[in-house]
A = this chain, B = another copy of it.
Amino acid sequence: MIPRYSRPEMATIWSPETKFRIWFEIEAHAADAMAELGIVPREAARTIWEKGGKAAFDIARIDEIERETKHDVIAFLTHLAEIVGPEARFVHQGMTSSDVLDTCFNVQLVRASDILLADLDALLAALKKRAFEHKDTVTIGRSHGIHAEPTTFGLKLAQAYAEFSRCRQRLENARAEVATCAISGAVGTFANIDPRVEAHVAEKMGLDPEPISTQVIPRDRHAMFFATLAVIASSIERLAVEVRHLQRTEVLEAEEFFSAGQKGSSAMPHKRNPVLSENLTGLARMVRAYALPAMENVALWHERDISHSSVERMIGPDATVTLDFALVRLTGLIENLVVYPQAMMRNLERFRGLVHSQRVLLALTQAGVSREDAYRLVQRNAMKVWEQGADFLEELLADKDVRAALSEEAIREKFDLGYHIKHVDTIFRRVFAEG
Instruction: Evaluate contact between B350 and A250: CB separation under 8 angstroms.
Output: yes
**Chain B CB within 8 A of A308 CB:** yes
Which residues of A in the span 113-153 have a Cβ within 8 Å of any Cβ on B?
140-151
Decide yes or no whether A271 CB sits under 8 A from chain B: yes
Q: How far is the CB of A142 from chain B (nearest CB, A)?
A: 4
A47 CB–B CB distance under 8 Å: no
Question: Within 8 Å CB of A224, what residues of B?
Answer: 166, 170, 228, 231
- The reply to whether the CB of A110 lies closer than 8 angstroms to some CB of chain B is no
| Interface segment out of the listed A50-58, A371-379, A404-412 | A371-379
CB-defined A-B contacts under 8 Å, sample of 24:
A71-B262, A77-B266, A89-B371, A94-B362, A143-B187, A143-B265, A146-B272, A147-B271, A148-B268, A149-B186, A150-B187, A151-B189, A159-B212, A162-B218, A166-B177, A186-B268, A188-B427, A190-B426, A192-B358, A192-B362, A195-B423, A230-B295, A250-B250, A268-B361
Contact between B187 and A151, CB atoms less than 8 A apart: yes
Instruction: Collect the chain B residues with CB atoms within 8 Å of residue A88's CB.
Output: 371
Produce 1/0 per residue, A297-310, CB < 8 A to B.
11111111111111
Q: Is A187 touching B266 in the complex (CB atoms < 8 A)?
A: no
Q: Mark A34-57, 1 if CB is under 8 A from B, else 0.
A: 000000000000000000000000
Q: Given contacts A195-B423, A285-B297, A371-B89, is CB(A146)–CB(B273) below 8 Å? A: yes
Is A2 interfacial (CB 8 A cutoff)?
A: yes
Q: Which of B145, B159, B173 contacts A248 (CB 8 A)?
A: B145
CA distance A372 to B88 in the complex (A): 11
| Alpha-carbon distance A308/B286, docked complex (angstroms) | 10
Choose among A237, A270, A308, A422 the residue with the greatest number of B CB atoms under 10 Å from its CB: A270
The reply to whether B146 and A248 form a contact with Cβ atoms under 8 Å apart is: yes
When the two chains form their complex, are residues A295 and B302 in contact, meaning their CB atoms are under 8 A apart? no
When each residue 342-356 of chain A gets 1 if its CB lies under 8 Å from chain B and 0 otherwise, what string results?
A: 000001001100100
Please tell me if the beta carbons of B385 and A89 are within 8 angstroms of each other in the complex: no
Known: A242-B302, A297-B285, A308-B282. A149 touches B191 (CB 8 A): yes
- Measured CB to CB, the closest approach of chain B to A349, in angstroms, equals 12
Q: Given contacts A144-B278, A220-B166, is CB(A371)–CB(B77) below 8 Å?
A: yes
* B-facing residues in A69-110 (Cβ within 8 Å): 69-71, 73-74, 77-78, 81, 86, 88-89, 92-97
A211 part of interface (Cβ distance < 8 Å)? yes
> Would you give the 0/1 interface string for A311-332, flagging 1 where the beta carbon is closer than 8 Å to chain B?
1011100100010000000000
Decide yes or no whether A163 CB sits under 8 A from chain B. Answer: yes
* Distance of A224 Cα from B149 Cα, bound (Å): 29
Q: Which residue of B lies closest to A260 (CB)?
A: B68
A63: shortest Cβ distance to chain B, in Å?
A: 10
How far apart sit A177 and B382, CA to CA, in the bound complex (Å)? 39
